[in-house]
Structure 1
């Protein structure tokens, strides 16, 4: 990775306290299997070319396709799934540009408005988009978009797409029936943001697991840096941070080996206390997927089936 620090050109001024991505990630000790997919990452701008949305809740640093692809190669990742960042609203230009530049090594997850045309959905499909994302985090959206999501889910079903949903664990009780009623698979960001100070056998996380068990639900075992309370300190070895998240992720992988995904969440939006070393995030993988078979499903087979179905590595 280049040590050049990220910048945000005028007229965009970063949100106060915004943490830039880790410019010099370590080399992972764990060797990712060939064909590994980073199934959750983003691009920000660059703002001079892809302006940030006027309605955005934050202004990030620039973190474009070149930096993402440099990280991909540094970590040993083969492919990316680039998820539309909320700072770009429903203008998917930066994400689509990165997917196009990947030469087939990336897919996209878009944000679309309820009035999106069928022609635009077909254009996005041709460009490599395979899903749409809806955010249910109350600090990032003004209202839960149930009606819009239900209508859009019916329209994307013929394309074979899915919906990526982001919510807080405490809100699942009021959302679970709605998600499982959709005619397309839900893909849950970051294990539904469990409270890792609780037990992975406790009622809240057990409710989440039973929700996953009800239907065709995919789960990203991602973002330990966002979920952890213990934080980046190495508690059981110098390359083992975020220890408190491991039992939750491991339980998901063990119970649902055919429907788990992994991603870096680069460039890690909205973190306020520290910025993770992406090399250490790779080294979390064998702690949550402990066998070679689990690792291959998590990193290769599952994301290929969801985003590149029928394609041979």
Structure 2
């Protein structure tokens, strides 16, 4: 079985750079049946462009759709979402300007997760903290963005620790053997993206068990997002429900949720974001636990 759905062929050392085109998100998402609580937070979303104001990186792995902050907030209003955490998109590289502009414009409802180069300074971190950034993301998937060495990442973590930030980790399950000891020793909170990029058939398997073990650590968090990426059955992505429910059972106070709009580098048909909200109701049927995941947990981690 071919586990991962993305295959990007890129040559960065020479003059050729092949970028994957990125389709736009669902243009008319349905209104969800699930009513979200007040101050519900989308803890994983992106903004991209507009390119005329915020140019894309020349080294990007994909050509994104225009997904500016106004479109994101309109979607949030449609879905009943009050707060959001903007995760810096790799198509902008280390230029966090689009995210910074959004955080400055909507300081009460938005927080951010940045991408930082290994040589980032304390002064740069201070400036990001002042506008609402509360974490830094590390993408270990070379098909999207080359990750720094673990030594370089440790240097960044030492610099962000005094600010109370956390790390966001995006990696494939096959990378667990090389990362799990390092993750276990991380000295600050860390969030695993998109249910660890598990596939639906991974439930009960070795990779699933590894993530369950990771979640026993009291500094490890999990995002029950990305069902549309891992599902092998397609909409309504029901094969991902058992995985999410188990993660919530282990760490209900360290679980986050997000829609991952505008679903960058997704190679299958774009999901209906209203249906993703309703899927949350299936993944977390208990209303009290759902409120913790949507309101209390992100408020605690991001300082809303």
Both proteins in one fold, TM over 0.5: yes
- Residue equivalent to 1:219: 222
- Residue equivalent to 2:13: none
**2:155 is equivalent to residue 160 of structure 1:** no
- Residue equivalent to 1:304: 299
How far, CA to CA, are the matches of 2:181 and 2:217 in structure 1? Answer: 10
Cα offsets for 1:82-124 (capped at 9, x unmatched)? 0000000000000111112224100000001111111111000
User: Secondary structure of the residue that 1:266 maps to in structure 2?
Assistant: coil
Superposed displacement of residue 180, structure 1: 2.3
How far, CA to CA, are the matches of 1:40 and 1:266 in structure 2? Answer: 8
How far, CA to CA, are the matches of 1:45 and 1:218 in structure 2? Answer: 29
Instruction: Determine which of 48, 55, 58 is the counterpart of 1:51.
Output: 55
User: Secondary structure of the residue that 1:95 maps to in structure 2?
Assistant: helix
Superposed displacement of residue 288, structure 1: 0.8
Aligned length: 287
- Residue equivalent to 1:210: 213
How far, CA to CA, are the matches of 1:163 and 1:143 in structure 2? Answer: 13
Note if contact 1:134-1:145 (Cα within 8 Å) is conserved in structure 2. no
How far, CA to CA, are the matches of 1:114 and 1:38 in structure 2? Answer: 28
Superposed displacement of residue 17, structure 1: 4.5
Note if contact 2:196-2:211 (Cα within 8 Å) is conserved in structure 1. yes
Moved over 4 A (4+): 14-17
1:184–1:128: structure 2 CA closer, same or farther, 3 Å change rule? same
- Residue equivalent to 1:273: 268
User: Secondary structure of the residue that 1:213 maps to in structure 2?
Assistant: coil
User: Secondary structure of the residue that 1:219 maps to in structure 2?
Assistant: strand
Note if contact 1:82-1:107 (Cα within 8 Å) is conserved in structure 2. yes
- Residue equivalent to 2:252: 257
**2:233 is equivalent to residue 230 of structure 1:** yes
**2:121 is equivalent to residue 117 of structure 1:** yes
CA RMSD after TM alignment: 1.4
How far, CA to CA, are the matches of 1:229 and 1:145 in structure 2? Answer: 32
TM-score normalised by L of structure 2: 0.91
Mind listing any 5+ residue stretches in structure 2 that lack a counterpart? 1-17
User: Secondary structure of the residue that 2:112 maps to in structure 1?
Assistant: strand
TM-score normalised by L of structure 1: 0.89
**2:82 is equivalent to residue 87 of structure 1:** no
Note if contact 2:19-2:61 (Cα within 8 Å) is conserved in structure 1. no
Structure 2 counterparts to residues 166-185 of structure 1, below 5 A: 166-185=170-189
How far, CA to CA, are the matches of 1:158 and 1:16 in structure 2? Answer: 38
Superposed displacement of residue 16, structure 1: 5.5
Instruction: Determine which of 281, 287, 291 is the counterpart of 2:286.
Output: 291
Note if contact 1:15-1:60 (Cα within 8 Å) is conserved in structure 2. no
Moved more, 138-147 or 104-113: 138-147
Superposed displacement of residue 179, structure 1: 1.6
